[in-house]
Amino acid sequence: MESLQELVKGLEQKGILKTPSIKEALLKVDRAHFVIPEYKDYVYHDRPLPLKEGQTISQPLTVVFMLELLQPKKGHKVLDVGSGSGWTTALLADLVGEEGNVYAIERIKSLKEFGEENLKKLKYKNVLFIEGNGARGLPEHAPFDRILVNASAKIIPPALKEQLKTGGKMVIPIDNLYGHLTLLNKIGENHYQEEVYPGFTFVPFIT
């Protein structure tokens, strides 16, 4: 892929990218702002790229698949767990708009600072970055309309389930024998529905 437009078009042609607002956000939030310099030549390739501290910026196909499951809307309050370079955080911030809020939690200080600086350059004002353990969530800012987790857990952390608003959605990678994404719908207090999508691999969720 030579350009952002070609990358987005390819995701549409594969049937992964379907929602107009997500397409608009992808074209506005250029992945090039979030890649470390030594990988700039690969920024529009549909592949994960290394970051510092052994972490990665996720493959565009995977990010779009997760956002399509999550369906963030204007005005939503979103928790972004494992915010990394801040690319997904910026996409979420664009999707929820000025009336919404994104809380980005990252356990690695240098990555938290990297992502925070990236979003400052793009002048997003509806995002709060926090250094901390994503498995605990952010109870002081709960409940959340949407929760996106960017690392694979063995189970869905109970604190994140509790902090999800009734009617809300969480997308989280689960690493069992075979990696998959789980879409969790909270349909009532302590009542959940799960949908599973196999074939995804993420860095591990470290608590």
Catalytic residues: 58
Radius of gyration of the chain (CA): 16
Angle (deg, nearest 10), helices 109-121 and 87-96:
50
What are the structure tokens assigned to 193, written together?
A: 């529905």
- DSSP SS3 for 33: helix
Task: Report whether 118 contacts 36 (CB < 8 A).
Answer: no
- The DSSP secondary structure of 39-79, one letter per residue, reads GGGGTTSSS-EE-GGG-EEPPHHHHHHHHHHH---TT-EEE
Omega cis (within 30) before 143: yes
| Contact residues for 79 (Cβ-Cβ < 8 A; gap 6+) | 102, 103, 105, 137, 138, 141, 142, 144, 146, 147, 148, 160, 163
